Structure 1
Amino acid sequence: MQAEERLRALYAAAVDAARPAGRIEVPAALAPKGRLIVLGAGKAAGSMAAAFEEACEQPIAAGLVVTSYGNAAPTRAIEVVEASHPVPDANGLRAAERIMALAKEAGPDDAVVFLGSGGGSALLALPAPGLELADKQAITKALLASGAPITEINNVRKSLSAVKGGRLAQAAAPARVLSYLISDMPGDDAALIASGPTLASPQGFEPLAVLEKHGVEVDERVREAIAANPAPAALAGAEYKVIAKAADSLAAAAALADSWGWEARILGDAIEGEARAVARTMAAEARALQSGLARPVALLSGGETTVEVRGEGKGGRNQEFCLALALALDGQAGIHAIAADTDGIDGATVHAGAVVAPDSLARMQEQGVDPQACLEANDAQRAFEAAGGLVTTGPSLTNVNDFRAVLVEPAAA
């Protein structure tokens, strides 16, 4: 098996380990005296709805989930609608309004199930009182371009929302609320997955300070709306189960690498930081490791890097990571890598990520593409189009964030 085949196989194993099918266990009697209402939001919401239907023996009285465009899955009783990610749109607003209306219909004998995954923050686009959809769109775009970490972005999103940060559970009270979650959050903080529509939020977070930190300017009207919209610090009876997370995917990839006789080293499932900086660190680690190796090693990691947008090119954080890694490795023999988002979509592109080989830079240059100039312009997609290293899978219908593998073979004698 060639190095690129191994890399793509590791990525496929990671994605398969995050799929919701067979991972949802439903209590025998969620609402023995009442109705069962199923709601949800996220890139995996459609496939989670299908998996819930397969696992649930109780009739579903009403169901609606919202997922990103191209991520719908066939269901029987639960309606699946699509909206925009990562910047919210009018379809997300309408979906959020309908989801909140269904939650408010729940009575004390009813049960509300929430199916949440990464992407739900943008897809549940119901602004807080005093805010408009345009406010959410502008702030989201600015935070994404600033390179702010996802934990900070999702906490700000709570402050802008009438549904996230536990407000969906408040609307459903006093019904029983049970959430099934697929984690895309570094550290698997359930209250941040889809910005926690059904879970209480720890106090002490200052959204206005985060906006100021990242240079996002807002007017006094927005400031007042945020100040008047604190998330609930406690919710009675909120239950949740994390059914898939990045650690599961890394373990599956490690098992596959072990089966080849490679040594698998998991560097962590919550690695954050600017994509270029993380790439330089991993390149240095791979170089240092290579000289003393007795057998090949697979360095595996997850989490979510960020990109500070400086140019007008195309390519998500995984493609940017790969381009920076290729430049840092500078054609080093025996080191190959992949970085790809487990949802199958890297940023605003149709690609999941990219593959790096020792000759990647040479192939770019043969096609007249300057890899350093592409990096400076945030144009990694163009660079890997020239090198032939793009990973294109289409939506995976799940999301446990980024997957990275660096394969290091012993240095030639």
Structure 2
Amino acid sequence: MQHPGTPAGLPPPDFLLQLFRHAVWRAQPLHGMAQHLPAPPAGRGRTVVLGAGKAAGSMAQALEALWPPHAPLSGLVATRYGHVPPRPAGLAQRIEVVEAAHPVPDAAGLNAAERMLALAQGLDADDLVLCLISGGGSALLTLPAAGLTLADKQRINRALLDSGAAIGEMNCVRKHLSRIKGGRLAAACHPARVVTLAISDVPGDDPGVIASGPTVPDETTCADALDILARLRIDIPDTVRAALQAGTLETPKPGDARFAGHQVHLIATPQQSLQAAAEAARAAGVAAHILSDEIEGESREVGKVHAALARAVARHGQPFARPCVILSGGETTVTVRPQQQPGGAPGRGGRAGEFCLGLAQALQGQPGVWALAADTDGIDGVQNNAGARVAPDTLARAAALGLRIGDHLDRHDAYGYFEALGDLVITGPTHTNVNDFRVLLIL
């Protein structure tokens, strides 16, 4: 039902979805790539493309569309299964795109990483390497360090994902347990010139954290990785622990001569997408406020904080006046806890859905507040939804179906809760990734 004062004549859920689409549109690689492309190498120099991430397929297509048709271009990128965008009519394919598993790596990702290192061999100073990097590349570029098997990496990756660790901590460990992350890919390209074009999915937009920084020198250390593993109680083989203690798995550091002349350009960021959504809201006559593009923490707790802010606006007109939208981004976490109920099967859902559970529980049916949270890659966790919606009647409709929100939070089952309500946000893969998108509408 349409609420009085709904922006642009749209029902609140449709208006919020429209803002999400503006955010995703801004993050498409074609919009930010052209201004950062170098000129093709002169003479006999080659241009080799290497890369990985959830946006790697669309980044490759954008590069093919923008690169001079007469200039040679070849290479290989890896993206998530099902994330290769449809090819525009008339666009010739010059870059090979392979698919692999995310968030837990598989043999296809390992094979792609091996092939990329092989393509980096034999380059010279006349050659140019264009590296297309986006979020998800940590899992898609899998090349275990000596002493580790693919099964070891899969187990460690699952443990990191379930631990609630921040993305920087996870990627510190991943860098030191890899033969391609943490600057090693770019180092392997020496003496060729390397230009990295990246789409940021991390708080702070640190290129060393995006996809575990395969093309930039690494400031973290083996000791840092050991401390994180110890604190999170994640086991690794004794031989690998010894190698970390001895520093033999250390990553290339800032000042390494192999990175001289390299460039890194961010072609899309979370802040740019939040700004695009804010501009669309203002164009519809609604004030828009961006809290931050760097919010981290437990998803449900972040939801509670957003709920407290929305209730203050709805009840007291502070700190913002109604009507307004409140936007935020970043990368929250879901710490998977032991199941308390008989049978204890874990629920389905990701960060965006868990945020919505925490938000709905804390809003307590507050009138005049609607919300949408979604992952900008179109996939929340490993399900088929991008996220979920919350409305003033969410709790009441759920209660009528016999659903208890606390039970769903306990087993991390956001998908089951919002599926029953018809409030999942399903977009399919968006072919980009600037991480969490959250928007609250207060009327």
Whole-Å Cα distance in 2 between the matches of residues 203 and 157 of structure 1?
Answer: 11
Larger displacement relative to structure 2 (272-281 or 365-374): 365-374
CA contact (8 A) 1:271 1:303 kept: yes
Name the residue aligned to 2:5: none
Cα offsets for 1:89-111 (capped at 9, x unmatched): 00000000001100113222111
Name the residue aligned to 2:6: none
Give the Å deviation of 1:31. 4.8
Give the Å deviation of 1:129. 1.8
CA contact (8 A) 1:339 1:354 kept: yes
Whole-Å Cα distance in 1 between the matches of residues 141 and 39 of structure 2?
Answer: 29
Q: 2:183 aligns with which of 166, 185, 208?
A: 166
Q: 1:30 to 1:248 in 2, by over 3 A?
A: farther
Say whether residues 1:345 and 2:379 are aligned partners.
yes
Q: 1:296 aligns with which of 301, 320, 323?
A: 323
Say whether residues 1:228 and 2:252 are aligned partners.
no
Q: 1:16 aligns with which of 3, 25, 28?
A: 25
Name the residue aligned to 1:202: 219
Name the residue aligned to 1:107: 124
Larger displacement relative to structure 2 (211-220 or 310-319): 211-220
Whole-Å Cα distance in 1 between the matches of residues 390 and 229 of structure 2?
Answer: 35
Give TM-score, length-normalised by structure 1: 0.96
Q: 1:225 to 1:86 in 2, by over 3 A?
A: farther
Where do residues 333-372 of structure 1 align in structure 2 (5 Å cutoff)? 333-372=367-406
Q: 1:41 aligns with which of 48, 52, 64?
A: 52
- Secondary structure, in 3 states, of the residue corresponding to 1:23? helix
Name the residue aligned to 2:12: 3
Give the Å deviation of 1:61. 4.3
Answer 1 or 2: which has greater strand percent. Answer: 1
- Secondary structure, in 3 states, of the residue corresponding to 1:135? helix
Give the Å deviation of 1:270. 0.7
Unpaired runs of at least 5, structure 1: none
- Secondary structure, in 3 states, of the residue corresponding to 1:269? coil
Whole-Å Cα distance in 1 between the matches of residues 399 and 240 of structure 2?
Answer: 48
Give, as a single letter, the amino acid of the residue that structure 2 aligns with 1:218: I
- Secondary structure, in 3 states, of the residue corresponding to 1:93? helix
CA contact (8 A) 1:114 1:178 kept: yes
Say whether residues 1:309 and 2:327 are aligned partners.
no
- Secondary structure, in 3 states, of the residue corresponding to 2:208? helix
Give, as a single letter, the amino acid of the residue that structure 1 aligns with 2:248: A
CA contact (8 A) 2:373 2:388 kept: yes
Whole-Å Cα distance in 2 between the matches of residues 361 and 291 of structure 1?
Answer: 19
Cα offsets for 1:345-365 (capped at 9, x unmatched): 000111000000011112222
Give the Å deviation of 1:371. 1.4
Name the residue aligned to 1:186: 203
Larger displacement relative to structure 2 (219-228 or 394-403): 219-228
Say whether residues 1:136 and 2:153 are aligned partners.
yes
Where do residues 212-223 of structure 1 align in structure 2 (5 Å cutoff)? 212-223=230-241
Whole-Å Cα distance in 2 between the matches of residues 91 and 60 of structure 1?
Answer: 27
Name the residue aligned to 2:83: 71
* Equivalenced residues, count: 409
Give, as a single letter, the amino acid of the residue that structure 1 aligns with 2:356: C
CA contact (8 A) 2:184 2:214 kept: yes
Q: 1:224 to 1:62 in 2, by over 3 A?
A: farther
CA contact (8 A) 2:40 2:47 kept: no
Say whether residues 1:62 and 2:74 are aligned partners.
yes
Whole-Å Cα distance in 2 between the matches of residues 28 and 238 of structure 1?
Answer: 14
CA contact (8 A) 1:31 1:111 kept: no
Give the Å deviation of 1:32. 4.1
Give TM-score, length-normalised by structure 2: 0.90
CA contact (8 A) 1:129 1:225 kept: no
Whole-Å Cα distance in 2 between the matches of residues 270 and 282 of structure 1?
Answer: 14
Give, as a single letter, the amino acid of the residue that structure 2 aligns with 1:14: A
Where do residues 323-338 of structure 1 align in structure 2 (5 Å cutoff)? 323-338=357-372
The 4+ residue runs of structure 1 with deviation greater than 4 A are none
Give, as a single letter, the amino acid of the residue that structure 2 aligns with 1:304: E
Name the residue aligned to 2:342: none
